[in-house]
Amino acid sequence: MCARAQRLDSISVAKRVYEAYVAKNRDAIEALIADDFHFTSPRDNRLDRATYFSRCWPNAHITNEFTFVHLVPDGDRVFVTYDLRLKDGSAFRNTEILTIREGKLVEAQVFFGWTIPHGAPEGNSI
């Protein structure tokens, strides 16, 4: 596969992962996540696939909509910044680095961002 096609495919896989999550489509997301998948966030240290589904998947029910801010391919990685709106109306921005190989998500690294709107006045801190 040429490099451009691979980049497009990685972005497509990344988008499908988020779409499946917000649609609460467990079958679709399971088909996209590799058996050797790992998930890391400030709260989770390299969870395996089974632990991801038991710990993180239940949170899908509170999500309402992902809005992609950035989708940047870099080899087998896609850097994703998104705004996530929850069913209660609250929202936040996160960035994730996804590693995608052979059309499957093999690793997700999550970096927490801020609430939307930001809690600090512009030019100030909390």
Domain coordinates in residue numbering, the chain: 3-116
Fold of the CATH domain 3-116: Nuclear Transport Factor 2; Chain: A, (3.10.450)
Eight-class DSSP state of 121: P
pLDDT tens digits, one per residue of 52-80: 999 999 999 999 999 999 999 999 999 99
CA atoms of 125 and 32, how far apart (whole Å): 39
Confidence of residue 4 (pLDDT cuts 50, 70, 90): low
pTM for this entry: 0.91
Cis ω before 117 (30° cut-off from 0): yes
